[in-house]
Amino acid sequence: MTEKKDQKKERLALWERLCQYEGQPVAILCARYWYRGYLAEVGKDHVVLSTPRAVEVTGSASQNHPEREDVIPSDVMIRIDFMEIVCQPSWVYHEMEDKTRVETHKKLVEASQKPQPARRR
């Protein structure tokens, strides 16, 4: 029973830490692959990266840009359980698009959470 409580505490601590990065560029190591983008949303069991990129070769953490990466054309949802590392190396800030996609994502999430008026038949 204490093992489950410890897991819940660890999960809560991770979630709280992730919330501190919301709206900022981050790099996430997930299943041996690096992703970078703006942390647009921190959900109960997932995060959403806006303007994401799959980083194939990072190079040094102190470099100004990753050596090789691919732009992902849509937002990416990553399960918190699968994340191994979340950080902000120097290359995470390189040539990020403006934050309009992050703001658009937030507006869509807010709109989807508002109660919708009942439809008339």
Give 13-53 pLDDT, tens digit per residue. 888 889 999 999 999 999 889 999 999 999 989 999 999 99
- pLDDT reading at 70 higher than 60: yes
Encode 13-47: b = buried (16+ Cβ within 10 Å), e = exposed: eeeeebeebbeebbbbbbeeebbbbbbbbbeeeeb
pLDDT at 57: 86
Count of the separate structural domains present in the chain: 1
Is residue 98, in this structure, part of any structural domain at all?
yes
Q: Show the domain range for 59.
A: 2-112
pLDDT of amino acid 64: 79
Does residue 79 form part of some domain? yes
pLDDT of 32? 86
Percent share of the chain, pLDDT over 90 = 31
118, part of any domain: no
Whether the per-residue pLDDT at 116 is higher than 70: the answer is no
120 assigned to some structural domain:
no
Residues 45 and 81: beta-carbon distance below 8 Å: yes
CATH number at residue 70: 2.30.30.100
Domain assignment of residue 117, yes or no: no
Evaluate whether residue 87 is within a structural domain.
yes
pLDDT at 5: 82
